[in-house]
Amino acid sequence: MSTPQAVDAARLSLLLNELRLPAIKTVWPQFAEQADKEGWPAARFLVTIAEHELAERGRRRIERHLAEARLPPGKTLDSFDFESVPMISKAQVTALAAGDGWLGQGANLLLFGPPGGGKSHLAAAIGLALIENGWRVLFTRTTDLVQKLQVARRELDIEAAINRLDRFDLLILDDLAYVTKDQAETSVLFELISARYERRSMLITANQPFGEWGKVFPDPAMTLAAVDRLVHHATILEMNVESYRRRTALERKRGPGRPPSRATTKTVAD
């Protein structure tokens, strides 16, 4: 024969399912027992299980956002070698990784430097930190996203495709330079930049300074308009250092017992 307590517990389980409170359903028996032993007031018991529900929702939300972000694995701020990029302020990057003060305003972050200098690593690491701070991020190679937008344009769905990207507070476009100098590709990229202007933020990594963006946008007027929109509200980080991959290969070739080479800074072109 079921006891009143067992009946109440079964009913509570059903009610918590109906209310979609899975964390409370899991933890309430443990905390109810502790509350009975220690004589907790009802308010303390309710606060405790409510806090667990909120914490579990936050954890699940971050898991979902990490899955949709498509970040390259293993790229964190802790693993980024700031000493090899002395012109980058760790304090400034840490502040940017909080997201406050720029993502809400639709501001941009632009990372410039030669291949192998750590731009993609830093971009992904900032993206990861932003997700952990509650923001939504998408990381993509620029060429991959441009190709998807081209397909959307052929299917007369370009506006809807760009609008769907609005759910992301930050869109990370990696390797802008590898977009080919093709009118169809660059026009959809320009549409994306224009659509997000002053509304949603972008983080762009590029090998060439603005002066060489004519290699990306074939139309000089389009180049000027794209740069104008990107830099209007932007933080620009120049990572003009020797390639990390090249430096690592040289150190392996040099072998043990030799002093490691350090990153060297170079003059950034205007």
What are 163-219's pLDDT values in tens digits? 999 999 999 999 887 665 667 778 898 999 999 999 999 999 998 877 777 777 777
What's the pLDDT at 6?
A: 74
Give residue limits of the domains in the chain.
4-67, 87-254
What's the pLDDT at 101?
A: 87
Q: What does the pLDDT look like over 120-165, one tens digit per residue?
A: 999 999 999 999 999 999 999 998 999 999 999 999 999 999 999 9
Q: How confident is the model at residue 40 (pLDDT cuts 50, 70, 90)?
A: very high
Residue 147 corresponds to which tokens in the numbers above? Answer: 């190709």
DSSP at 86: T
Residues 6 or more apart whose CB falls under 8 angstroms from that of 73 comprise: none
Measured CA to CA, the distance from residue 229 to residue 246 in angstroms comes to 34
Measured CA to CA, the distance from residue 205 to residue 207 in angstroms comes to 7
Measured CA to CA, the distance from residue 200 to residue 233 in angstroms comes to 11
What's the pLDDT at 259?
A: 43
Measured CA to CA, the distance from residue 17 to residue 22 in angstroms comes to 7
Q: What does the pLDDT look like over 10-24, one tens digit per residue?
A: 888 898 888 889 988
What residue type is assigned to position 107 of the chain? A
| Burial tier of 149 (Cβ tally within 10 Å: 0-12, 13-18, 19+) | buried
| CA-based end-to-end distance of the chain | 84
What's the pLDDT at 210?
A: 77
> Do residues 250 and 261 lie in contact, with contact meaning Cβ atoms separated by under 8 Å?
yes
Least Cα distance to 192 among 126, 102, 108, 111 occurs for 108
> How much is the mean pLDDT over the chain?
85
Q: How confident is the model at residue 269 (pLDDT cuts 50, 70, 90)?
A: very low
Q: What does the pLDDT look like over 63-117, one tens digit per residue?
A: 999 999 999 999 999 999 999 888 999 999 999 999 988 999 999 999 999 888 8
- Report the CATH superfamily, name and number, of domain 87-254: P-loop containing nucleotide triphosphate hydrolases (3.40.50.300)
